[in-house]
Amino acid sequence: MMYTGIDKRELDEVRRLNERFLYALRRPRSAAKAGLASVLDSEELTWLESASADEIGDLAETPFFLFRLDDAPTELSPNVTTRLFSPNEANEDEVLLMGLSFCWQLARRAAFPTRVLTGARADWCQWLATVPFAVLAEVVRVNPNPLTPNLMEAKFFWPGLVGAVRNCRHRHVAAIKSAGLQHLLKRQHSDNAMPLAARTLTVPGRRVADGDSSAGG
């Protein structure tokens, strides 16, 4: 099947999930907000926590996720369970589950757009495409890692994005987002090794192999 690119509906889903992530930063014990404190000063963090809906929309409308999904574990116990998350409050577990769910269906259709949107390694995208959907809730339940803001290693991105939107520098907003996307694409080439010890996932009655880590988009 020929790859036709990421369509507008998919980009709308990315924007909505990014908005949910940005609102989740306002929760008192947000681990992702604590991470951003290393790249944003206190004034910028305060502005981010009180940004208007329009400003949140400007921040969120990027062609990739503003949070990382591939820090979540890929080794799970055989007892897969599901949990429900309230749709009325933004929280980081919910953002992780919704992001994984969206990328799960996308990865099963085509690996490359999943890699573009997440900046994740090819082997992680391949793993995501092979697991049963119900497993995603268990990934969130046992996840020992806090939800991580994306592009933390690119020191220019978050201060540049927040500063540009905060100061209504619309042309600079587009440039920062473009630079962020370029960084994500470059990062994939350097993230070759899977940092997690597990290479397989075991679920009841089925063993799903991670496969050849060189495969993918």
pLDDT tens for the chain, residues 1 to 217: 555 677 787 888 889 889 989 998 988 878 888 889 999 999 999 999 999 999 999 999 999 999 988 877 766 555 443 334 344 557 888 889 889 999 999 998 888 889 989 998 888 999 999 888 878 888 888 887 778 899 999 999 999 999 999 999 999 999 999 999 999 988 877 665 434 322 333 333 333 333 333 333 3
CA distance 145 to 72: 6
Query: How far is residue 50 from each of residues 2, 4, 46, 133, measured CA to CA in Å?
Result: 43, 38, 7, 35
Question: What are the extents of the domains in the chain?
Answer: 8-209
Contact indicator for 152, 35 with CB cutoff of 8 Å? yes
CA distance 30 to 44: 16
Joined together, the tokens standing for residue 70 give: 């591939």
Contact indicator for 148, 68 with CB cutoff of 8 Å? yes
